[in-house]
Amino acid sequence: MPCYRCGARQTDPVRGASPWQRGVRNESQVLICPDCQRLHDLDLDACGTCGSTALICRLGEVECRSCGAVWMARSDTPLSGSTAPPPPGLSAEVEAALNRVLGRT
Ligand SMILES: [Zn+2]
Ligand SMILES: [Zn+2]
């Protein structure tokens, strides 16, 4: 599976953990190459509980690898309800960093 963003192909895995990151975007499993991981507009799905983007998607379910939360993909009942959802791609972590840079708290 190539990088969803730039289409780069995964090279032969080196020993140890792959530098490629797995994530979920639009409730589909994607791979992110090391280059694209440095970008802050990855537009990955984030956990509604802890904000982590370390998610895995399988069999219609999305599971958070950080806190273990599991929810149905393609759910008709988004967590955000009637409130406006956060901008896509902004994980809580990135948002917090942006807020620091912009002087917001
Ligand atoms: Zn890439
Ligand atoms: Zn989580």
The per-residue pLDDT for range 6-60, each reduced to its tens digit, is 999 987 666 787 889 889 999 889 999 999 999 878 889 999 999 999 999 988 8
Is 82's pLDDT higher than 60?
no
Burial class (CB in 10 A: 0-12, 13-18, 19+), 82: exposed
Q: What pLDDT, on the 0 to 100 scale, is given for residue 77?
A: 47
Ligand 1 centroid from CA 7, angstroms: 6
Q: What is the pLDDT of residues 64-74, one digit of tens each?
A: 999 999 999 87
Q: Check residue 90 and give its pLDDT.
A: 63
Ligand 2 centre distance from Cα of residue 12 (Å): 30
**Residue type (1 letter), 64:** C
Cβ neighbourhood burial of 62 (10 Å; 0-12, 13-18, 19+): buried
The mean per-residue pLDDT over the stretch 81-99 comes to 69
Ligand nearest to the CA of 64: 2
